[in-house]
Amino acid sequence: MALSEGTTDPTSPPAPASPGGAETRGGVRYRRAALMGVPAFLAASTLVVLTAQGALAAQFAISGMPFTVTADSLEGTGFGQFGALDHMAEGSPNAGDTGGQVLVIVTAIREAKLTNLCQSVELGGTHLLITAGNRGTPVKASGLTTDSTEMAARLAEFDNIEIGGDASTFDKPPVKGPLGSFGQQADTVSIKNVRQTNYATTATRFTLPDLHMGFSSKGC
């Protein structure tokens, strides 16, 4: 700038991920590396709750209300990605039949720049809309993580990508995943026309030039 599941015993083997998921639209420059399909990535992941084995992505109880994030471009250094579970507060009215857990794709970037950032959340028929970085000065974020259930982009490019590593051993992104979890990391990432459905976003520092916040009949 942070998928739904029933209550799961973290000590039991994970259930296979659903074959459905986000689509990545457009071509990819294969001489660098393709953006891995989210369904295949999640199916291979060991989906356990993040503990001291790896830093938590969302270090708080999520509301359970998804929000949309879009940007014309995202440029980052120190990229990593792995699967995880986020948790709602006990008794949350947004839990539904999920057991208060949401299966997410954690994307972590050490330093990121985003142009024309938009974030929106639906609130009972209206949208809280936030925009920034749309007048020539990009949004900047350090230690950025997003917890997403869906991701799409027109184009994604990576430099020196490593796919299939144990996310607990990663040294490029700002956080690590849990021991034994499937992940990928890269020196740099460049994404065009990114769109995410998120449940959480965290950053050690977030700079939003030309910030505007208000209510709108339409979201991002």
| pLDDT at residue 3 is higher than 50 | no
Q: Which of 4-13, 92-101, 105-114, 160-169 has the lowest average pLDDT? A: 4-13
Average pLDDT over every residue of 122-144: 96
Which long-range CB contacts under 8 A does 29-33 form with residues at least 24 apart? 29/155, 29/157, 32/157, 32/158, 32/159, 32/161, 33/157, 33/158, 33/161, 33/163, 33/186
- Could you tell me the sign of the dihedral formed by the alpha carbons of 130, 136, 142, 147, in that order? positive
Q: Is residue 209 part of a domain?
A: no
Q: Is residue 216 part of a domain?
A: no
> Three-class SS of residue 41?
helix
Q: Which residue has the higher pLDDT, 29 or 103?
A: 103
User: Residue 94 has what pLDDT?
Assistant: 95
Give the confidence band of 57 by pLDDT, cuts at 50, 70, 90. low
Q: Which residue has the higher pLDDT, 8 or 74?
A: 74
Q: Is residue 103 part of a domain?
A: yes
Share of the chain above pLDDT 70, in %: 74
Element (H, E) at 84: strand 67-87
pLDDT tens figures, 82-100:
999 999 999 999 999 999 9
- Total count of domains within the chain: 1
Average pLDDT over every residue of 176-198: 96
Average pLDDT over every residue of 24-52: 37
pLDDT tens figures, 137-167:
999 999 999 999 999 999 999 999 999 999 9
Q: Is residue 131 part of a domain?
A: no
Q: Which domain holds residue 14?
A: 4-109+139-204
Q: Which of 45-54, 162-171, 185-194 has the lowest average pLDDT? A: 45-54
| Whole-number Å distance between alpha carbons of 17 and 47 | 9
Please state the pTM of the whole predicted model: 0.75
Q: Is residue 72 part of a domain?
A: yes
Give the confidence band of 41 by pLDDT, cuts at 50, 70, 90. very low
Q: Is residue 15 part of a domain?
A: yes
Q: Is residue 126 part of a domain?
A: no
Q: Is residue 74 part of a domain?
A: yes
